[in-house]
Amino acid sequence: MGVRSILLLTLLPLMPAAEPPGNLTWPDVAAAMARSTQQQRDSISVMSQSLGLQRQSVRTQLREAVDQTANPADLFTIPWPKAAIPVTPVTADCDPLPDPVVDSLVEEHARRESLSPNLLREVMRRESGFRNCAVSRAGAMGLMQLMPATARQFGVRNVFDPKQNVAAGARFLKALVDRYEGDIALALSAYNAGPTRVDEAGGVPAIPETQDYISAIMNAMSAH
């Protein structure tokens, strides 16, 4: 008995006894199933290519967001977004840090950077509401709402770690206070809208959000 005969005898019990419905033959059904399978494979291939392109786009955007400065040693070479940074977090799915934790962070890093504790506290309050998971529409993250390039510049490994975030934010705020020779309004303007905006305006830029930001922090500081 030939191999073909053996195969036919082996498969025969597995084949249904009845004929396919209508005028179709079993070879017709098999061919239709094969075409359907191939179409599914083609669809999966297209979806895979689309997902690959989306992943590549996300990776490119992340690299562009992080690699904004060629010289990390220079605080003020970071190109800042032209639009003012929104101060209200889009996502903050965590509770505010307990008061003792906030007090400890403020005391440590205000002392280290020779900043007013009230200034550091009110910036943190305005930026994140003391929520270390806060992320803004512009991509600023954490308690002090650090932009990716700023976090990278100050060596922040985990931007959502309270201590690392506040340490970097306090250093950046101190650098701005020194840059504007102790003018807190200008330093706050630069923290919110970027040094480029302040320098181009020659003072507090005419951005309502930035002006509200300064007013809210200065009023809160004076109430202490």
Catalytic residues: 127
CA atoms of 174 and 178, how far apart (whole Å) = 6
Token pair recorded at residue 38: 């191939």
Helix (H) or strand (E) holding 200: helix 195-201
Burial pattern 108-138, b for ≥16 Cβ within 10 A else e, equals ebbeebebebbbbbbbbbbbbbbbbebbbeb
What are the Cα distances from residue 27, in Å, to 33, 34, 54, 149, 206?
10, 10, 41, 63, 76
Contact 192, 213 (CB under 8 A): yes
Go through 53-68 and write b for each residue having 16 or more CB atoms within 10 A of its CB, e for each that does not. Answer: eeeeeeeeeeeeeeeb
CA 141/CA 158 separation, integer angstroms: 10
Handedness of CA 118, 128, 187, 78 (dihedral sign): positive
